[in-house]
């Protein structure tokens, strides 16, 4: 997608987490600007999400690879260092990431789990539009290496490359500067490492991305400020729409504003800004069709 045209992929994360998340994503797709969703394959609302996706075939669905804060797809005895006897991952992604590097045997267990999640996604009969990760764990170097090894077999044609420009993020919303600076440092380094490997493997990714620094707070003001500033090429914006009250949302993301994000994605004002600035909504399927 070259030239001066501006394309925008709007992705909803955690599809399948709960009825509230599923309802928010479907409403933002049906009545708003959302074009894509990322599916958790072993969560309380997964079956409902799969059924909703079948009813809305225009919604592009990818794998939201979960390796922390959730339930494993592989049997617990096959991944004893990755998940507990109940199949639950640890809740701290930084600790998990360090263990992936330093514990013997973790690569083998990670491969089993990643394959299990890809296989479960395929079992739903959905076409895989892309892969990303819960808390962006897909960019962990060990995890990404495994995904690249499995890409051909599982037809991984696109992947989220997470790197949100820090200075622009602060201009759009000056809150949380220390957190944003730390995120920016880590994910800029991971993206620099990942990008040439993805290109070599023929896996597509967007030219730029937003949402990392604004996680849980993608409101109408943010969208109406961001959209006119989009550069030519393809941009992904990821967000977390949802309908409250919802116990799973409260359990895992108590500080996120799921209802405000959904309202912003469905806002007539936001849709008008998209139209006025000539931005074309798209998804990862269309990004791959540019080959």
Instruction: Inform me whether the pLDDT recorded for 291 exceeds 60.
Output: no
Q: How confident is the model at residue 2 (pLDDT cuts 50, 70, 90)?
A: low
- What value does the mean pLDDT take over residues 136-144? 97
Q: Is 238 helix (H, G, I), strand (E, B) or coil?
A: strand
- What value does the mean pLDDT take over residues 216-220? 97
47: exposed, middle or buried (Cβ count in 10 Å: 0-12, 13-18, 19+): exposed
According to the model, what pLDDT value does residue 110 have? Answer: 97
Give me 263's structure tokens.
């309202």
Q: Rounded to whole angstroms, how far apart are CA atoms 115 and 97? A: 18
Q: Which range among 99-108, 205-214, 247-256, 265-274 shows the weakest confidence by mean pLDDT? A: 99-108
Q: Mind listing the pLDDT tens digit for each residue in 83-121?
A: 999 999 999 888 999 999 888 889 999 999 999 999 999
Q: How confident is the model at residue 207 (pLDDT cuts 50, 70, 90)?
A: very high
- Residue 245 is classified by DSSP as S
Alpha carbon separation from 82 to 42, 152, 212 (Å, rounded): 15, 25, 25
DSSP alpha helices (H): ranges in the chain? 19-31, 46-55, 93-102, 106-123, 141-154, 166-172, 177-201, 220-226, 247-252, 258-265, 268-276, 284-288
Q: How confident is the model at residue 69 (pLDDT cuts 50, 70, 90)?
A: very high
Q: How confident is the model at residue 290 (pLDDT cuts 50, 70, 90)?
A: low
According to the model, what pLDDT value does residue 289 have? Answer: 81
According to the model, what pLDDT value does residue 103 have? Answer: 87
Provide the mean pLDDT of the chain.
96
Q: How confident is the model at residue 203 (pLDDT cuts 50, 70, 90)?
A: very high
Q: How confident is the model at residue 158 (pLDDT cuts 50, 70, 90)?
A: very high
Q: Is 182 helix (H, G, I), strand (E, B) or coil?
A: helix
Instruction: Inform me whether the pLDDT recorded for 242 exceeds 60.
Output: yes
Instruction: Inform me whether the pLDDT recorded for 223 exceeds 90.
Output: yes
- What value does the mean pLDDT take over residues 203-227? 97
- Residue 77 is classified by DSSP as G
Q: Is 136 helix (H, G, I), strand (E, B) or coil?
A: helix
What number of H helices and E strands is found in the chain? Answer: 12, 7
Domain ranges of the chain: 6-288
According to the model, what pLDDT value does residue 105 have? Answer: 87
* Architecture of domain 6-288 in this structure: Alpha-Beta Barrel (3.20)
Instruction: Inform me whether the pLDDT recorded for 79 exceeds 80.
Output: yes
For 168, residues 6+ apart whose C-beta sits below 8 A from its C-beta are 229
């Amino acid at each position: 997608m070259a030239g001066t045209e501006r394309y925008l992929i709007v992705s909803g994360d955690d599809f399948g987490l709960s009825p509230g998340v599923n309802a928010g994503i479907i409403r933002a797709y049906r009545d708003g600007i959302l074009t894509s969703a990322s599916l958790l394959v072993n969560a309380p609302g997964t079956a409902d999400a799969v059924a909703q996706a079948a009813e809305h075939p225009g919604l592009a669905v990818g794998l939201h690879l979960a390796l922390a804060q959730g339930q494993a797809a592989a049997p617990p005895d096959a991944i004893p260092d990755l998940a507990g006897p109940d199949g639950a991952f640890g809740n701290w992604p930084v600790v998990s990431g360090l263990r992936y590097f330093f514990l013997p045997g973790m690569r083998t267990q990670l491969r089993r789990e990643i394959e299990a999640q890809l296989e479960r996604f395929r079992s739903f009969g959905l076409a895989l539009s892309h892969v990303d990760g819960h808390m962006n764990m897909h960019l962990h170097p060990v995890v990404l290496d495994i995904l690249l090894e499995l890409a051909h077999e599982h037809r991984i044609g696109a992947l989220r490359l997470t790197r949100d420009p820090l200075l622009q993020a602060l201009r759009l919303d000056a809150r949380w500067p220390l957190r944003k600076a730390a995120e920016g440092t880590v994910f800029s380094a991971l993206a620099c490492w990942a990008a040439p490997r993805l290109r070599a493997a023929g896996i597509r990714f967007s030219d730029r991305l937003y949402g990392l620094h604004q996680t849980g707070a993608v409101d109408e003001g943010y969208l109406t400020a961001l959209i006119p500033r989009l550069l030519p090429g393809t941009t992904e914006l990821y967000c977390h729409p949802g309908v409250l009250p919802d116990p799973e949302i409260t359990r895992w993301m108590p500080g996120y504003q799921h209802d405000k994000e959904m309202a912003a994605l469905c806002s007539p004002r936001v849709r008008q800004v998209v139209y006025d600035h000539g931005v074309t909504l798209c998804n990862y399927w269309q990004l791959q069709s540019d080959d």
